[in-house]
Amino acid sequence: MNHPQDSIVVGIDGSDAAINAAKWAVPEAVSRDIPLRLIHAIPRSADAPAGDESLDVEYAEMALHGAATALHAMDEAVKVETEIVPKSPGSALVDESRSAAMVCVGSVGIGRVARKLLGSTAETVARKAHCPTAIIRNGQKDVPDPPWIAVVVDDSPANDAVLEQGFREAHLRGAPILAMGVWRWGLGEIPYEQLNRRLDRWVSQYKDLHVQPAAARQGVVEFLTRTAEPIQLAVVGSDDAGDVARMVGPVTFHVPRRDGHSVLVVPK
């Protein structure tokens, strides 16, 4: 099947976390005027008992229908596409990322795939995707205004893509920027002159955004796990993809914790 060159892809597994990720992705699709593509992956198994395949397909159809219904109820001008893909969730989403503008997954859920989602699928996609990957934390409580978009700032060439994505997200969601300064050459004071030079291009382009520097001397993971700042999304590079689980943090079904954040991983 030929897919649009650009779409926002969301992995759907029947969980509330997946629907939450799909809802988060709606503004991404609307702002780009591209479809929101919902996929449910069914791994192939030659050893599966007879009849399991039809049950899997029935479950997938119900999950996709439920997610699409929730999105239509938002009454946003977005085209929603659905498809069942005969692959493992990780492989399916990585393949989809070749022609997607972004891939989104939920951080935790109750579906059959979601129980191990963050430990396997989300991290696999974050490491291997060809487009930005959003891991949306479920159960995150409302935070006081302003909820920051935290963006990694360093002196590597690949950081330009992270900054571009971070400022775009802040503009789209009407949020200020928390510029996490990660300096490879030392642990001294924040080099504000260097920081300003790195941010100047984006600050000039997005004059309406408030930008505040923050020292992340021990790295982005330590900063995110220790900060008390209300952060709605952390935008990081693929070098930090292996630490996605720590950044998103644990979530229990009864007591959602605030020491975790949704994360957007931008590939090099």
Domains of the chain, first to last: 7-136 (3.40.50.620), 148-266 (3.40.50.620)
Residue 257 has what pLDDT?
Answer: 44
pLDDT tens track for 177-192: 999 988 655 545 556 7
Q: Rounded distance, CA 99 to CA 113, Å?
A: 23
pTM of the predicted protein model: 0.87
pLDDT tens track for 4-48: 458 999 999 998 989 999 999 999 999 999 999 999 999 876 566
Helix axes 159-173, 192-205, angle to 10 degrees: 50
String of b and e for 122-142 (b: at least 16 CB within 10 Å)?
Answer: bbbbbbbbebbbbbbbbbbee
What is the full per-residue pLDDT of the chain (268 aa) written as tens digits? 445 458 999 999 998 989 999 999 999 999 999 999 999 999 876 566 655 678 889 999 999 999 999 999 999 999 999 999 999 999 999 999 999 999 999 886 333 443 344 446 788 899 999 999 999 987 655 555 668 999 999 888 889 999 999 999 999 999 999 999 886 555 455 567 778 888 999 999 999 999 998 888 788 988 998 888 899 999 999 988 888 888 887 654 443 444 578 999 999 8
- Residue 216 host element (H or E): none
Cβ atoms of 263 and 148 closer than 8 Å: no
Q: Rounded distance, CA 136 to CA 17, Å?
A: 8
Single-letter code of the amino acid located at 200: D
